[in-house]
Amino acid sequence: MSDPVIGVLALQGDVREHLAALAGVGAEGRQVRRPEELADLDGLVVPGGESTTMSNLAVAFGLLEPLRAFVAAGRPVYGTCAGMIMLADRLLDGRPDQHTLGGVDMTVRRNAFGRQNESFEADVEVSGVAGGPVRGVFIRAPWVESVGEAAQVLAVHDGHTVAVRQGNVLATSFHPELTGDHRLHGLFVSMAAEARGTAPAAA
């Protein structure tokens, strides 16, 4: 079988870094800007950036409902930072006109760890990721206020949930794509490969 094909939503945010991380774990990365580009993907990354801008651009590009359908169909999706916000069923401190894709039974608070100048890095133990802590880069990062029964907490930092999984949906409030440590991308590619009934091309 060919390597998993993973799209990166390329409306706004750190697209290039995710493409590099995906290549580092043996996946084929593709930029996604149009609804038809979702059709033949094995998974999708929703990157960090600015969640309200991403929401507005998804509407403008006619992607909001196709993205929601992609998630609702159980297709593998990984969201980082703003991507975590986009995958939340419920938001705190969101703008009235802000849309999410849903997919994880969680309540997320935007910018919970502070403003841009309060950004930081920290080691985070992530359940299911071997080899020690993951270095997390937190930039205007959200955290998860609460999760429902369907969602599994994978990581906590300073008493706050910062990584979750629900079925084929993975979300982190930090940016692993900025560190050179591709283990979380490897986990996601493994999820995508499993979802299409294959073994992962690379771990």
Catalytic residue list: 81, 175, 177
Q: Which residues contact 116 (CB under 8 A, 6 or more apart)?
A: 139, 140
**What is the SS3 string spanning 58-124?**
HHHCCCHHHHHHHHHCCCCEEEECHHHHHCEEEEECCCCCCCCCCCEEEEEECCCCCCHHHCEEEEE
**43 and 192 in contact (C-beta within 8 Å)?**
yes
